[in-house]
Amino acid sequence: MSTATPSAGAAESALPQAANPKHNSYQSPLTSRYASPEMAYNFSDMKKFSTWRKLWIALAKSEKALGLEDISDEAIAQMEANVYNIDFEVAAKEEKKRRHDVMAHVHTFGVAAPAAAGIIHLGATSCFVGDGFELISIRDGFEIIIPKLASCIQKLALFADKYKDLPTLGFTHFQPAQLTTVGKRACLWIQDLLMDLRNWRRTRADLKFRGCKGTTGTQASFLTLFDGDHDKVEKLDKMVTELAGFEDAYAVTGQTYPRKVDFDVLSVLASFGASAHKIATDIRLLANLKELEEPFEKDQIGSSAMAYKRNPMRSERVCSLSRHLTALMFNPAFTAATQWLERTLDDSANRRISIPEAFLTADIVLSLLQNIFGGMVVYPKVIERRINQELPFMATENLIMAIVKKGGDRQEAHEKIRVLSHEAAQQVKELGLENDLIERVKKDSYFEPIWADLDKLLDPSTFTGRAKEQVVSFLAGPVKEALEPFEAQLAKVREEDVNV
């Protein structure tokens, strides 16, 4: 029996079919596998087309309030009664026939609200609802992810406070460097996330509505509707903007709102992607060193072949998705750069993908980070062992100074400790043995004056500088200030965590 794969051009009926239709076509893993229900809904057809209807209602109400007598109370009542009564099959048939999604839904809405059929979309261009929904979904997307980012920062701040004074080996170039603390390292992650929180809140606050601007942004159609009354056109723009939930609209537009807005939005989301990737990479490196691990479930399998493995799968997923998020920034950059004059339609298909995927991906990464930060496990004994392997070399200057204070000669002490250090390094690098520098110091009578002081001279906490104090002031200052607007939401999250 032949098992050859059917050609790409084969009829669908010739292909093996699953009983559940959803298994017979590609499903984006962003929605089918990872996304939160609230973010998946934010870009759903129901949200999109019900928002279109709400915008048409806002337009009709505002036009009626400003004196357009053709818009009846019955028309508005029927529209309001059918916001969510969307016949998607009728809309699909209309779009196939008309090759225009907005006009398909104008017709579909008119069928549901016949008294309004003649005034739906009055004076507007397609971008009134198209751009309107996109700006609303961007705004609502930020409303979903900003508190989640604050929650991530809070969880990481609790971790940093808990381990603020636990010494650990610092690394530069992933080579042993001076000591820091586990909490101080976490503060480096928090600081990046604080920048992201600031950028998101700023971008959300800067977001405006397109409003009622007409086909090329001149408001000509609305000026005609209101018989040349400029004041009413301006009032219409403001009324619809406020009904859409925005304080202000862009003062001038072409047919679309400025596509540079999308670039600004995806830039700050991509910047967060870079932060998340860096943090998750650090966790993966520390997991390899066995100093820190992300949460690992009791029955979780790390490898199908190697049963002992505890792979940092959540952090790996964060890195994978964060790369996708960062790469999405280039779509709106090129789109903003290539818009012709008042607009061109080569932005449409691109933006249907890049904007939703950016918010969906950021939302998924946040959920992963919340899980990771809420259950990270630290292994102090492993950390202590690694410190003991490297600290003797770092302490050589302290040993020299201690000998000098006891009356020794600085140059002679330096030469003594240099020789012993090289001998110990040979043990470590060439023979794979432990660092025995301190044992060599204890056996050399030259260092006898400081033997009693060695434990104090080698106390790791004396090598971390102001790491602990920096953590305390950082959490009490910038972190506390940044989280204050979210205190009520974070208190609810803390309560839910306790009740799990």
* pLDDT tens digits for range 343-362: 888 888 888 899 999 999 99
Of these residues, 7, 173, 304, 445, which one is catalytic? 173
What three-state secondary structure class fits 19? coil
Specify the CATH superfamily of domain 42-125: Fumarase/aspartase (N-terminal domain) (1.10.275.10)
Please indicate whether residue 315 is annotated as part of the active site: no
**Average pLDDT of the segment spanning 141-158:** 96
pLDDT digits (tens, 9 = 90+) for 470-492: 999 999 999 999 999 999 888 77
For CA atoms 280, 286, 291, 293, the dihedral sign is positive
What does DSSP say about strands 175-181 and 292-293: parallel, antiparallel, or unpaired?
unpaired
126-130, 183-187, 340-344: lowest mean pLDDT where? Answer: 340-344
Q: What pLDDT, on a 0 to 100 scale, did the predictor assign at position 122?
A: 93
Is residue 309 over pLDDT 60? no
Is residue 246 over pLDDT 70? yes
Q: pLDDT-based confidence at 295, cuts 50/70/90? A: confident
Cβ atoms 350, 263 nearer than 8 A: no
Is residue 140 over pLDDT 80? yes
Cβ atoms 344, 254 nearer than 8 A: no
Tokens of 319: 């890195």
Which helix (H) or strand (E) segment is 177 a member of? strand 175-181
Of these residues, 303, 320, 461, 473, which one is catalytic? 303
**Average pLDDT of the segment spanning 117-133:** 93
Query: CA-to-CA distance for 42 and 35, rounded, in angstroms?
Result: 11
Residue 489 burial (10 A CB sphere; 0-12, 13-18, 19+): middle
Q: pLDDT-based confidence at 168, cuts 50/70/90? A: very high
pLDDT digits (tens, 9 = 90+) for 19-78: 877 778 878 888 878 889 999 999 999 999 999 999 999 999 999 999 998 899 999 999
- CATH 1.20.200.10: does it fit domain 127-210+253-297+307-379? yes
Q: What pLDDT, on a 0 to 100 scale, did the predictor assign at position 69?
A: 86
Please indicate whether residue 303 is annotated as part of the active site: yes
Spans of all domains in the chain = 42-125, 127-210+253-297+307-379, 396-457
| CATH topology identical between 127-210+253-297+307-379 and 396-457 | no
Q: pLDDT-based confidence at 11, cuts 50/70/90? A: low
Q: What pLDDT, on a 0 to 100 scale, did the predictor assign at position 282?
A: 97
- Residue 273: other Cβ atoms inside 10 A: 27
Is residue 303 over pLDDT 80? no
Residues 6+ apart with CB under 8 A from 479: 153, 157, 190, 194
Instruction: Tell which wins on pLDDT, 352 or 146.
Output: 146
Helix spans in 69-125 (H): 73-81, 88-98, 101-112
Q: What pLDDT, on a 0 to 100 scale, did the predictor assign at position 299?
A: 47
Instruction: Tell which wins on pLDDT, 434 or 217.
Output: 217
Considering only the top CATH level, what class is 396-457?
A: mainly alpha
Query: CA-to-CA distance for 459 and 470, rounded, in angstroms?
Result: 19
Locate the DSSP E strands across 345-491.
Answer: 377-378
